[in-house]
Amino acid sequence: MLNGLAVGLVIVDTDMPAAKQWLSEAESMKPEMVYIGLGREEKRAMQLSGLLYDHLRRPIEPWLFGKALERGWDKLKQNRLAGRPLHGGDEIVGSDLSAQPSPVSQGLPSGYWERVLSDFSRALNNRLNKERFIGLFLEAVKELVPAGKMAVLLKIQGSGDYYVAEQRGLDPELQSKLLFKSSDGLVKWLLEKGRILNMATLQPGGDDGYEVIASEMKLLKAVVCVPLIAHGSMVGALCLGPKVVGTPFYERELQLLYTICGNVAMALEDIDLHEKLYNQNVYIESILQLMHSGVAAIDGKERIITFNDSAARILTLDRQKILGMDLRVLPSPLGDMLYETLTTGKAYMREETMLPAGRLPLELSTYRITGANGEIFGSVMIFDNITFRKEAELKRRQAEQSEVLNRFVGQLTHEIKNPMVAIQTFCQLLPDKYEDSTFREFFSQTVKQELKRLNELVDQLIAFSSPLNYRYDVTDALSLIDEAIGLLHEQGKGLDVPVKKYFYRHNPRVRIDRLNMSRAISYLLGYLLENVESKEGLFVNMQADSENGEGEKVNILLSNDSLKVKAEKLESLFNPLELKPDNSICLGLPVSKKIIEDHGGSLKVAGKNSNSVMFKVALPVFVERRTDRGGVHHVRQT
């Protein structure tokens, strides 16, 4: 088939079973030809790497195939310029080698320079595959210096030891067992000297560790060892045995080998970095695909670069179609939030949003991706479908509300029933004991008290459950406190309990509904009165925010040093379901809080020393603005 061809390119299908045998025969018949492999199996290509100039994997892009052909033609031209004999003993026209001096006599490489450099370039083009790269490197070295034995040592990642990564002419079983320590011998010498080790120049008594070095070089059948150094670190070494022609290694050859090995070392570092990045990418991609949360990321050009399976499932989108598309393909407002994070740096943390399509509730977080120098690479969003959580929360709230209602109605029923029972009992006894003046008097007082209690409960219930109508009036804070204490006395509460009042020298005025606000303060004092255990009584302290008494707020502090409440239960005092110690319902404190807040004020509870309770009521101060003539210009409440 090739007999009629003098020179040319041959494309070989490496997937054919007989490809290796055919290539061997063709190489022996037509060594001047350039053979390029084409196939799918990488392993098969590795087996034929010694017979092929280059190999392309199917399927292949037309432009890549064209580049391979260009390199092949360049290879043919280099062979012709080097004077390589053609089939039949013909010489390339215009090549006169007889006039040139012998390369060996000059100490130059024994092969053709152009072919060696071309083969070395081919090795560098395959540096994403470490095994293939090292194999092509050794083939190029073989053309440069025809050594019978060759080995490449590489450093074990994370260790100081070196192993035989590839060899030519050594025992394969021995290769797997050899391990070289960096603490002594050959590797130590190379690390310390950083130059070529030539056994011909090594002195037995003049170099430390000569015996260990000699024994290790003997195991490798080597006489020369060239370090592979990149960025000040030795990644490996090239060990060469004697030349098959028996000539020594020339200085020019060793210099060229050292330069080539430096480039090989950098290429090996690039391969390791590529493998590390590739493995990290696979690892991260695996994590993303296994995540239950959806993950979507865009780059600086607003294109979607990450979209895992969970994101596709949650948003019911095709993952393969989404990748590489503009972020606008994402449902609103996800694309807008990613873009905002990318451009402004605003990060959303556990933000809840509702997709208009399908009313899908999502919880999401966004982050901007930046480099070490602050360069913006893109933004990423992590989101979850919280439909089931929302449904569970709704059911829980409904159950809690049902439980609250049942408890409240139950307690309210008892609160109404107790005074009704007392009234009913006295009504039953009244006909028989009507003539008894003592009974009539007791009956009158008890029924009035129970009716007041029932009326107060109904008033509290109305005030808590429905909006109140307020009739505002201006009064001073001192009068407000006195009116609140008076309401308590009308109910028969606190008549024998002292109330110690400490007022500021100015008496701020407030604009309030006097009846409702007095009731609110009386409820707070009533709660404190029910727990008085000492003769110290209650303390009322009024404070203004400024020296002239015209601060924005007037603070009224109500406290009882004998009332002890744990800190974790203070806020629950305003819960309408919180029961008194006697298990009775108490709406007074929640109603007080509502009335005070309706007036633009605030009500807080705090623990004083030893967990004693103090209520802090803050009300806006009423301020009159007067004109220069002394008349009232306008009034306002701050």
What is the full DSSP assignment across 27-63? HHH-TTSEEEEEES-HHHHHHTTTT-SEEEESS--HH
Encoded tokens for 73: 């033609």
Give the pLDDT score at 93. Answer: 32
By three-state DSSP, how is residue 445 classified?
helix
Residue 635, in any domain of the structure: no
Domain boundary among 100, 133, 148: 100
Are 131 and 204 within one domain? Answer: yes
Residue 636, in any domain of the structure: no
CATH of the domain at 20: 3.40.50.2300
Please state the domain count of the chain.
5
Residue 110, in any domain of the structure: yes
Q: Is the pLDDT of residue 379 over 80?
A: yes
Are 348 and 410 within one domain? Answer: no
Q: Is the pLDDT of residue 592 over 70?
A: yes
Are 372 and 453 within one domain? Answer: no
**pLDDT tens per residue, range 243-302:** 887 888 888 888 888 988 988 898 888 888 888 888 887 877 777 777 888 999 999 889
Are 600 and 484 within one domain? Answer: yes
Looking at residue 582, what DSSP letter applies?
T
Which residue in the block uniquely carries the two structure tokens 């003769």?
Answer: 535
- Binned at pLDDT 50, 70 and 90, residue 624 comes out as low
Are 412 and 505 within one domain? Answer: no
Residue 389 has φ and ψ, to the nearest 5°, of: -65, -40
Give the pLDDT score at 190. Answer: 92
Q: How far is CA 326 from CA 323, 362, 499, 595, 634, in A?
A: 9, 21, 73, 55, 61
Give the pLDDT score at 339. Answer: 92
Provide the residue type at 306 as one letter: T
- Binned at pLDDT 50, 70 and 90, residue 121 comes out as low
Domain boundary among 464, 483, 500: 464
Looking at the DSSP bridge assignments, the partners of residue 554 are 544, 619
Domain boundary among 367, 385, 403: 385
**pTM, 2 dp:** 0.43
**pLDDT tens per residue, range 74-92:** 777 666 655 444 333 333 3
Give the pLDDT score at 241. Answer: 93
Residue 633, in any domain of the structure: no
Higher-confidence position of 338 and 9: 338
User: Nearest to residue 553, comparing CAs of 513, 587, 508?
Assistant: 508
Q: Is the pLDDT of residue 492 over 80?
A: no
Give the pLDDT score at 365. Answer: 93
Q: In which domain, by residue range, is 299 found?
A: 293-385
Q: Burial, 612: exposed, middle or buried (Cβ in 10 Å; 0-12, 13-18, 19+)?
A: middle
By three-state DSSP, how is residue 142 classified?
helix
Q: Is the pLDDT of residue 469 over 60?
A: yes
